[in-house]
């Protein structure tokens, strides 16, 4: 097993200044950042390794501990092929000695990372919730948000099309720990959502319901579609518009339009007489 060389990973010398460490990390992060290389597992692993190196070398205390361990294990690290050598016992003894010398817990944590890889994120990951307008969540796109991790910072996250309430996205800043973003979708005055289906309500007058008509409806993607209302449509009828719901994850939902009746509250005397005549004609009781 070989100790990781964080200086080599970032391509810097052992005498690199803090600014040189930061610049080296930023330069490499632009090349290997997961957002620029979606689906590239090799680049993602490289980015994690770089972040691990930066986490240690950018912290004066951790860097000092790391340099001490490098001297302990040899400049180029050390390895063994002795089948009888028990690394677990060695680690146990090393931790015990390190604590005896007054080293912090992070000392042995860094040691674990260097020899066995980072099985967990050593930097403390921040968690934030952001509120996103309904249509923004449906359509996707970039959203800026602020969070406080000692200092107030502004970051940008790209929402995938069709993201749902409660879903999480991990953002990896080039100069700090990752941020786990929970998306909270705000309700909309016109639309509601179940899964990838969209629900919309319209109110039609009696003539439209009785005689039939055609209405124009806006979809969540700001397209207009004509919807035919058959003669004799009853209040509460639900019309299905196939494929006009939420897109995302390789699927398309449907849009459901619920029809309600709009009844006038006030009639003139003439209007009432005509309505009564119509009721008598068709046999409606009132």
Could you tell me the CATH number of the domain that includes residue 75? 1.10.287.110
Other Cβ atoms within 10 Å of 30 Cβ, number:
10
Among 166, 173, 123, 165, residue whose Cα is nearest residue 144: 173
Percentage of the chain lying above the pLDDT 90 cut: 51
What is the model's pLDDT at position 123? 59
Residues 66 and 157 placed together within one structural domain of the fold: no
Does residue 50 sit within a domain? Answer: yes
pLDDT band (50, 70, 90) for residue 136: very high
Please state at what angle helix 41-57 crosses helix 60-73, rounded to 10 degrees.
100
What is the model's pLDDT at position 150? 75
**Ranges of H-type helices in the chain:** 6-10, 18-32, 41-57, 60-73, 87-100, 105-116, 134-139, 206-211, 269-282
Higher-confidence residue of 65 and 233: namely 233
Task: Convert the pLDDT of each residue in 144-166 to its tens digit.
Answer: 998 887 788 889 999 999 999 99
What is the model's pLDDT at position 3? 67
Find where tokens 């879903």 sit: 167
Residue 241 scores a pLDDT above 90: yes
CATH of the domain at 197: 2.60.260.20
Helix, strand, coil tally for the chain in percent (to 5)? 35, 25, 35
Task: Convert the pLDDT of each residue in 199-221 to its tens digit.
Answer: 999 999 999 999 999 999 999 99
What is the model's pLDDT at position 119? 46
pTM surpassing 0.85?
A: no
Domain tally for the chain? 3
Does residue 121 sit within a domain? Answer: no
Residues 62 and 102 placed together within one structural domain of the fold: yes
Contacts of residue 96, defined as CB under 8 A and 6 or more positions apart, other chains included, come to none
Task: Convert the pLDDT of each residue in 76-131 to its tens digit.
Answer: 333 333 444 444 554 454 444 444 434 444 444 454 455 445 444 445 788 999 99
Does residue 215 sit within a domain? Answer: yes
pLDDT band (50, 70, 90) for residue 66: confident
Determine the Cα–Cα distance for residues 233 and 208; give it in Å rounded to an integer: 8
Residues 180 and 196 placed together within one structural domain of the fold: no
Contacts of residue 12, defined as CB under 8 A and 6 or more positions apart, other chains included, come to 20, 21, 24, 57
Higher-confidence residue of 47 and 87: namely 47
Q: Which residue range forms the structural domain that includes residue 90?
A: 6-116
Residues 15 and 103 placed together within one structural domain of the fold: yes
């Amino acid at each position: 097993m070989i100790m990781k060389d964080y200086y080599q990973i970032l391509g810097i010398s052992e005498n690199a200044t803090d600014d040189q460490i930061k610049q080296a990390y930023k330069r490499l992060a632009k090349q290997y950042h997961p957002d620029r290389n979606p689906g590239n597992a090799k680049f993602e692993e490289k980015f994690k390794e770089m972040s691990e190196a930066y986490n240690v070398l950018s912290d004066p205390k951790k860097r000092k501990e790391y340099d001490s361990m490098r001297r302990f294990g040899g400049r180029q690290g050390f390895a063994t092929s002795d089948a009888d050598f028990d690394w677990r016992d060695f680690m146990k003894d090393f931790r015990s000695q390190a604590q005896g010398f007054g080293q912090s817990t992070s000392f042995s944590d860094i040691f674990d990372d260097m020899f066995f890889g980072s099985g967990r994120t050593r930097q403390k990951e921040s968690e934030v919730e952001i509120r996103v307008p309904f249509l923004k969540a449906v359509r996707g796109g970039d959203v800026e948000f602020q969070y406080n991790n000692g200092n107030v910072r502004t970051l940008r996250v790209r929402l995938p099309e069709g993201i749902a309430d409660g879903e999480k996205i991990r953002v990896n800043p080039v100069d700090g720990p990752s941020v786990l973003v929970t998306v909270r979708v705000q309700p909309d005055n016109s639309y509601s959502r179940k899964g990838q289906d969209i629900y919309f309500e319209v109110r039609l007058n009696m003539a439209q319901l009785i005689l039939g008509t055609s209405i124009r409806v806006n979809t969540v993607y700001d397209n207009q579609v004509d919807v035919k209302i058959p003669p004799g449509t009853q209040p509460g009828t639900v019309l299905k518009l196939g494929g006009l719901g939420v897109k995302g994850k390789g699927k398309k939902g449907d849009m459901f339009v619920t029809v309600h009746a709009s009844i006038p509250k006030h009639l003139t005397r003439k209007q009432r007489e005509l309505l009564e005549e119509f009721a008598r004609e068709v046999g409606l009781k009132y």
